[in-house]
Amino acid sequence: IDIGGNNPIKNPFVIPGLKKVQVESQLNPNYSFDNFVEGDCNRLSRSAGYAVAQKPGGNAFNPLLLYGGVGLGKTHLLHAIAHEIKNNYKDVDVLYQPADRFVNEFIHAIRFDKIHQFQAKYKEIDLLLIDDVQCISNKEQTQEAFFHIFNSLYDAHKQIVFSSDSYPANIHGVAERLRSRMASGLVVDVQVPTIETKIAILKRKADIQNEELPDEVATFIAASVNSNIRELEGAFIRVNAFA
């Protein structure tokens, strides 16, 4: 695979003679590393994600688990990792899947007697990204199915990335052996951004939307929102609408 240089990057997941099944990645094109604003709050998580994207499956960061509060950029990073890997390795099968959608798909497979197809689909994926993995709490059958999928992918050196709202040991209602698997690679927290990072995020969003955002307005919005990035962006949209 040639991505523009003289030295093509080989797909780390290719098994000779095995026909790949194409999977719809479910990726948001706006969530990339280029659009991700880095600060002290997320520098380690961003660096870990980028490292995974350069050498998926073949590093000590497998699995990678990003945890933190709502709206701090975990989903953005998952999509960015997937986009970077797809840019580097053109023929990999990548799937971003919110955990609640994974649960619903599993229930559908049980209902229509398609468990075999369900398991086969996931075991052929090269990069699996599960968002909000805490949503499988207290769902024993789903956890059992996911445990076997995890083992299959991990043993095949496929890359697995999770996001969660808390550290694995603090996710209640999840089997100990599954929590242990989640924490077996690299676990990184994503923290609340500083005011400087929030201003940078607002400026980046204004640039993307071709909107003018004076420094004093950006500082006022950043100082007024103390929760998360999602609400910060919502505040910018409201101010812009009023303007």
User: What radius of gyration do the chain's Cα atoms show?
Assistant: 19
pLDDT at 21: 47
* pLDDT greater than 70 at residue 33: yes
Prediction pTM value:
0.83
The predicted pLDDT at position 27 comes to 87
Rounded CA separation 86/43 (Å): 22
Q: Using alpha carbons, select from 140, 1, 149 the residue that is nearest to residue 63.
A: 149
Query: In the predicted model, is pLDDT for residue 127 greater than 70?
Result: yes
Q: How far is CA 132 from CA 2, 44, 74, 77, in A?
A: 34, 19, 9, 13
Could you report the per-residue pLDDT of 56-75, keeping only the tens digit for each? Answer: 987 779 999 999 999 899 99
Residue 13 is predicted with a pLDDT of: 53
pLDDT score at 24: 56
In the predicted model, is pLDDT for residue 76 greater than 50?
A: yes
Q: What long-range pairs does 101-104 form, CB within 8 A, spacing at least 24?
A: 102/130, 102/136, 102/142, 102/146, 103/135, 103/136, 103/139, 103/142
Whether the predicted pLDDT of 117 surpasses 60: yes
The yes-or-no verdict on residue 150 having pLDDT over 70 is yes
The identity of residue 179, as a single letter, is: R
pLDDT at 235 over 50: yes
3-state secondary structure of 235: helix
Query: What integer best gives the mean pLDDT of the chain?
Result: 88
Can you give the pLDDT at residue 208?
87
Distances in whole angstroms, Cα of residue 187 to Cα of each of 18, 76, 126, 203, 227:
32, 17, 20, 30, 22
Average the pLDDT over 209-222 and give the result: 93
Residues 63 and 185: their CA atoms lie apart, in Å, by 5
Nearest CA to 130 out of 151, 146, 114 is that of 146
